[in-house]
Amino acid sequence: MTATVRAATMADLDGMVDVELRAFDDAYGGEPSPELVASVRQIWAGRLGILGEWARVLETPADGIIGLLLCCPADPARYAQVRQHFQLDDDDLLRMVFGEPATAYVLNLAVVGSERHLAGSLRLFADLRARARRFSIRRLYFHSRVIGFAGWLADEFPDADPTALPPAERLRLAQRYSKSTMPNDNTRPLDRLLRMYVDRGCQVLGVTSGWSLDRLSLGYGVLCRRDLPPQPRSAPA
């Protein structure tokens, strides 16, 4: 069944929270408590409130909402608001992103169900590129999780407790992991999710502290950049 992308509204809130909880079940747990669902719902209501048409949903007539992509133009005036509603750390990389002209920042991406594995996220990205063109945005930034990091650490250092490592050492290892590449191809990251982004033309910039609930990534994210090709002169606006 064909999935389509459109702007989200407050009426989509429950559907979007459901996608968030299912897509990140490793972080929220398979059966989140009513309190957890209510707190995620409150956070997402705030996000929808500040993003307007930049909050997009992917839906099918049969399944309803099965994916989402939240993004916003990264102008400095939005910086504090976005940081607050997305619980982002105030780091140098993020401030750099919000200081760049003609830039947008992708805040959330998730697809569940059978649209996972290419079709769903490609539709959301195509919609994002079309909107970016309309708003003269030339560059996209986003954070990728590093979903293989905890497993990699356990393999490399079987006797170490990653949570007991000093923060500076953990960060150094996260940086090392994010730069690790496939054994047979040193241009492609070892991490499966990071690899997917690089395969789609994204550049890896650096590790930042991320979302503490993300146990697979041990709370780290990798800032990525995707430059959008200039629009051909003859193309319609």
Token pair of 221 as six digits: 């994210």
What values do phi and psi take at 70, rounded to 5? -110, 135
Stretch that binds ligand COA, among 30-38, 57-65, 143-151, 157-165 (CB under 6 A): 143-151
Single residue of 24, 79, 105, 152 touching ligand COA by CB under 6 A: 24
Cα 142 from chain centroid (whole Å): 6
* Residue 147 makes contact with ligand COA by CB under 6 A: yes
* Residue 117 makes contact with ligand COA by CB under 6 A: yes
3-state secondary structure of 147: coil
- Contacting residues for 174 by C-beta, under 8 A, at least 6 apart: 146, 149, 207, 218, 220
Single residue of 23, 58, 71, 104 touching ligand COA by CB under 6 A: 23
Of all residues in this chain, which one has the CB nearest to ligand COA in the complex? Answer: 121
3-state secondary structure of 75: coil
Report how far residue 39's alpha carbon sits from residue 2's, in angstroms, rounded to the nearest whole number: 32
Q: Which is nearer to ligand COA, 159 or 185 (CB)?
A: 185
Q: Are strands 55-60 and 181-182 parallel, antiparallel or unpaired?
A: unpaired
User: How many residues make up the chain in this entry?
Assistant: 237
Size of the site for ligand COA (CB under 6 A): 17
Q: Which is nearer to ligand COA, 186 or 234 (CB)?
A: 186
Residues facing residue 208 across a β-bridge: 221
Which helix (H) or strand (E) segment is 55 a member of? strand 55-60
Amino acid code (one letter) for 53: E
CB of 187 to ligand COA, least distance (A): 16
CB of 236 to ligand COA, least distance (A): 28
Report how far residue 201's alpha carbon sits from residue 207's, in angstroms, rounded to the nearest whole number: 18
Q: Which is nearer to ligand COA, 51 or 111 (CB)?
A: 111
Q: Which is nearer to ligand COA, 67 or 73 (CB)?
A: 67
CB of 128 to ligand COA, least distance (A): 12
Q: Which residues bind ligand COA (CB under 6 A)?
A: 23-24, 26, 109-111, 116-118, 120-121, 144-145, 147, 192-193, 196
